[in-house]
């Protein structure tokens, strides 16, 4: 048996959270062992963010060709080679993969074990038989697609995010169960690439977002021909002649529809199975590993980051958490995870971005003092681009502090960066009002929304009187 490895840090999982932790620790000269049982890069690179955004990008090009007439350009209906689109998706993954590869991590000084890791006791991990006893462990094992207990599903072929990107034939009719970010992004991408698409959502689509901001996304998908059915309870699926048939119930009664392909996108299950968490004294639930404010688990040697830590499931959150845990691990500094300033973007067209609490969440927490908004229609760049649908909303606390913000519209994801800075740095509407925004840019809507906050002051008799008085002094 190989000698026990005794590094300073052992990271389990080579996805967004694990790779960031390992690379940053190695940059400080720390002896790191990284264990990954599947593809380096995890979900984001292989089955998540990257392929979904590449597919959406292809769909966006098709939509731009269809809409070109509005700009005086006549191209007709685009001819779409679905297999070539998938080659493009593969190509994007391949272009990014070297950054996440075993070779790159070994070149950084990390020892990479390509094996399934499991705790055997409180201080030891076995990775394919190789024992590792590290001073600290970081668990970053991510999540997997949740498969709901729908009658007949186990006997019916279906896709998840782990298999849909390998489908090289264009679905004639893609039925998607779940209208969250995965469901809606996949629905629009496939519709734009020529498939008939139906979304069956148990509640309301994009239900975690501000309903007023989610509405234009849902409306746009419907305009493009996606059939969106809210409050649809899927009762059973069965393997039909041409593909799966899906029976569901709404207020209007029971219906059965025929699909060529079925995609299940109803959320995620934390990858806790087989990790030996009980042997290590690490508490967990179905949502993930239980962590403290500093992401430490119930085993003081072990931290958890990313989807497995039970919080919001995004790559940038995994990266943020990786940055946090390195401080206690490397420098013995105390940290406290914040969740009130986290952004997320759904990359449909229009994009939908949110930072911190929505209006309703801020109201429920008692922090809401005001909301100001500005429509894309009043932005000159949006007019030039002929994309005037959407709005920005600033959620304000006391003294004009921006505690949350949401935006839906063209390039809303990019605008969310500015909003993330504003919320993260506890800026006020005055900060957004006073910065100089280059003209004509879409981000100007943030500044315009901030000026709305000051409108009541311009109407105040005292302020108006002061302006009149001062004007007398020449
Ligand atoms: C379709 C889709 C689209 C998405 N789009 C976005 C987006 O646009 N933006 C965004 O921010 N987020 C997006 N996400 C979410 C994002 O992908 C995840 O939040 C992120 O990948 C989480 O990173 P992680 O490191 O926690 O887990 P993962 O990336 O899942 O990595 C975990 C790794 O651990 C390995 N592993 C698991 N168990 C073991 C074990 N016992 N031993 C060894 N290795 C193990 C797995 O093989 C995997 O490689 C998307 C997700 C999906 C599914
Ligand atoms: N752009 C992005 O950042 C992005 C994109 C995709 C995924 N993600 C991440 O991945 C996570 C998972 O995405 P997701 O869309 O699978 O999950 P989700 O939990 O966000 O949404 C799942 C949806 O499915 C519905 N649902 C659940 N059970 C159902 C059932 N039996 N029948 C019909 N509908 C049902 C829910 O009401 C919900 O609207 C997201 O929460 C997000 O963290 C992020």
Say what the ipTM of the complex is: 0.98
CB within 8 A of 364, min separation 6: which ones? Answer: none
Spell out a b/e string for 162-176, using b for 16 or more CB atoms within 10 Å of the CB, else e: eebbebeebbebbbb
Sorting pLDDT into bands at 50, 70 and 90, what band is 457?
confident
pLDDT higher than 90, residue 467: no
Question: What is the C-alpha to C-alpha distance for residues 257 and 267, in angstroms, rounded to an integer?
Answer: 23
Sorting pLDDT into bands at 50, 70 and 90, what band is 455?
confident
Mean pLDDT within 342-371 = 98
Pocket test for ligand 1, best of 46, 48, 118, 271 (most atoms within 8 A of CB): 48
pLDDT of 358: 98
pLDDT tens per residue across span 76-97: 999 999 999 999 999 999 999 9
DSSP class of residue 403 equals E
310, 290 contact by CB (below 8 A): yes
pLDDT tens per residue across span 32-81: 999 999 999 999 999 999 999 999 999 999 999 999 999 999 999 999 99
pLDDT higher than 90, residue 438: yes
Mean pLDDT within 442-458 = 94
User: What are the structural domain ranges in the chain?
Assistant: 9-40+101-144+269-331, 153-267, 343-459
Class of domain 343-459: alpha beta
Atom of ligand 1 nearest to the CA of 115: 43
195 lines ligand 1 (CB under 6 A): no
Distance 265 CA to ligand 1 centre (A): 15
Residue range 9-40+101-144+269-331, CATH number: 3.50.50.60
DSSP class of residue 68 equals G
Pocket test for ligand 2, best of 52, 178, 229 (most atoms within 8 A of CB): 178
pLDDT of 50: 98
Mean pLDDT within 137-151 = 98
CA angle 335, 338, 343 (to 5 degrees): 135
Distance 342 CA to ligand 1 centre (A): 18
pLDDT higher than 80, residue 256: yes
Atom of ligand 2 nearest to the CA of 313: 43
343, 355 contact by CB (below 8 A): yes
Pocket test for ligand 2, best of 51, 162, 180, 350 (most atoms within 8 A of CB): 180
Distance 372 CA to ligand 1 centre (A): 35
Distance 271 CA to ligand 1 centre (A): 10
- Name which residue sits closest to atom 19 of ligand 2, judged by CA: 267
Distance 47 CA to ligand 2 centre (A): 15
Mean pLDDT within 361-371 = 98
pLDDT tens per residue across span 198-249: 999 999 999 999 999 999 999 999 999 999 999 999 999 999 888 999 999 9
Distance 313 CA to ligand 1 centre (A): 8
CA distances (Å), 137 to each of 12, 24, 220, in order? 8, 14, 45
Question: Is residue 137 within a helix (H) or strand (E), and if so which, with residue range?
Answer: strand 136-139
Same fold for the domain at 153-267 and the one at 343-459? no
Average pLDDT of the chain to the nearest whole number: 97
Sorting pLDDT into bands at 50, 70 and 90, what band is 1?
confident
DSSP string, 277-327: TTTTT--EETTEE---TTSB-SSTTEEE-GGGGSS---HHHHHHHHHHHHI
Question: What is the C-alpha to C-alpha distance for residues 208 and 182, in angstroms, rounded to an integer?
Answer: 13
pLDDT of 474: 80
The residue behind tokens 């005055």 is: 430
pLDDT of 456: 87
The answer to pTM > 0.95 is yes
Mean pLDDT within 308-319 = 98
Mean pLDDT within 296-304 = 98
Residue range 153-267, CATH number: 3.50.50.60
Weakest-pLDDT range from 308-322, 324-338, 365-379, 458-472: 458-472
pLDDT of 351: 98
42, 15 contact by CB (below 8 A): yes
**Among residues 459, 456, 428, 442, which one has the least CA distance to residue 375?**
442
Pocket test for ligand 2, best of 266, 271, 317, 318 (most atoms within 8 A of CB): 266
Mean pLDDT within 91-111 = 98
269 lines ligand 1 (CB under 6 A): no
99, 414 contact by CB (below 8 A): no
């Amino acid at each position: 048996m190989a000698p026990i490895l005794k590094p300073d840090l052992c990271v389990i999982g080579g996805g967004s959270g694990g790779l960031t932790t390992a690379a940053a620790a190695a940059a400080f000269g720390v002896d790191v062992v990284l264990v990954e049982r599947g593809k380096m890069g995890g979900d984001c690179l292989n089955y998540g963010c990257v392929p979904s955004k590449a597919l959406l990008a292809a769909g966006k090009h098709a939509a731009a060709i269809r809409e070109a007439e509005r700009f005086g350009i006549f191209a007709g209906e685009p001819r779409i080679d679905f297999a070539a689109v998938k080659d493009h998706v593969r190509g994007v993954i391949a272009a990014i993969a070297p950054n996440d590869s075993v070779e790159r991590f070994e070149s950084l000084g990390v020892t990479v074990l390509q094996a399934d890791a499991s705790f055997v006791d409180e201080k030891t991990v076995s990775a394919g038989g190789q024992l590792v006893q590290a001073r600290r462990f970081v668990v970053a094992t991510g999540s997997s697609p949740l498969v709901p207990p729908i009658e007949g599903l186990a006997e019916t072929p279906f896709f998840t995010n782990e298999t849909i990107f390998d489908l090289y034939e264009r679905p004639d009719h893609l039925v998607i169960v779940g209208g969250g970010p995965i469901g809606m992004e996949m629905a629009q991408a496939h519709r734009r690439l020529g498939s008939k698409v139906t979304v069956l959502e148990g509640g309301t689509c994009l239900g975690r977002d501000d309903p007023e901001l989610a509405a234009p996304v849902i409306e746009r998908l419907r305009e493009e021909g996606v059939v969106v059915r809210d409050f649809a309870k899927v009762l059973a699926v069965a393997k039909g002649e041409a593909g799966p048939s899906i029976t569901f119930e709404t207020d209007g009664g029971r219906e059965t529809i025929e699909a060529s392909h079925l995609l299940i996108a109803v959320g995620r299950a934390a990858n806790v199975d087989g990790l030996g968490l009980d042997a290590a004294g690490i508490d967990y639930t179905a949502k993930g590993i239980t962590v403290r404010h500093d992401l430490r688990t119930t085993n003081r040697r072990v931290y958890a980051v990313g989807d497995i830590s039970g919080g919001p499931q995004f790559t940038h959150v995994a990266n943020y958490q990786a940055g946090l845990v390195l401080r206690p691990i490397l420098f013995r500094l105390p940290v406290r995870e914040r969740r009130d300033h986290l952004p997320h973007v759904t990359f449909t067209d229009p994009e939908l971005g949110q930072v911190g609490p929505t209006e309703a969440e801020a109201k429920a927490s008692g922090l809401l003092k005001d909301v100001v908004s500005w429509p894309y229609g009043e932005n000159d760049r949006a007019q030039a681009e002929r994309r005037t649908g959407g709005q920005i909303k600033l959620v304000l606390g006391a003294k004009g502090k921006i505690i949350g913000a949401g935006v839906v519209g063209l390039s809303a994801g990019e605008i969310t960066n500015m909003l993330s800075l504003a919320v993260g740095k506890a800026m006020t509407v005055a900060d957004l009002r006073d910065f100089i925004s280059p003209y004509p840019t879409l981000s100007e809507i943030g500044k315009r929304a901030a000026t709305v906050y000051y409108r009541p002051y311009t109407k105040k008799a005292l302020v108006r009187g002061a302006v009149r008085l001062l004007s007398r002094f020449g």
